[in-house]
Amino acid sequence: MCWIFAGRSLRYLTVTIQSILYLRQQHHASAFPRSLLMAPTFSAFVACTSGVAWWTVWKGKSSAKTWAIGDS
C-alpha cells in the first residue's frame, strides 16, 4: 500500500512542476483566471499528503492510518 502513496506523490509532483512551467510560459498571466493558479497549489498539496502517508506507512507509525485516510 505504501508504494501506491509513493507513486501518487511522485505523479502529483510532476503535475505541479508541469503546471508551474506552463504558467511561466504564458505571456499574459493576468488574462488567465485565478482558478488556473489553483492547479499547482492543489497538486502540491496532494503530493505532500501522499508523501507523508507513504512515509508513515513505510516506517510503521501509529498515525499511518490517519494519513492514509486523509490522502485517500
**Cβ burial 6-15 (10 Å sphere, 16+ → b, else e):** bebbeebbeb
pLDDT for residue 25: 75
pLDDT for residue 65: 92
What pTM value is reported for the model?
0.75
Give the pLDDT means over successive 10-residue stretches in the chain (72 positions).
Answer: 87 89 70 68 91 93 92 86
- Rg for the chain, CA atoms, rounded: 15
pLDDT for residue 27: 59
Neighbours of 55 (CB within 10 A): 16
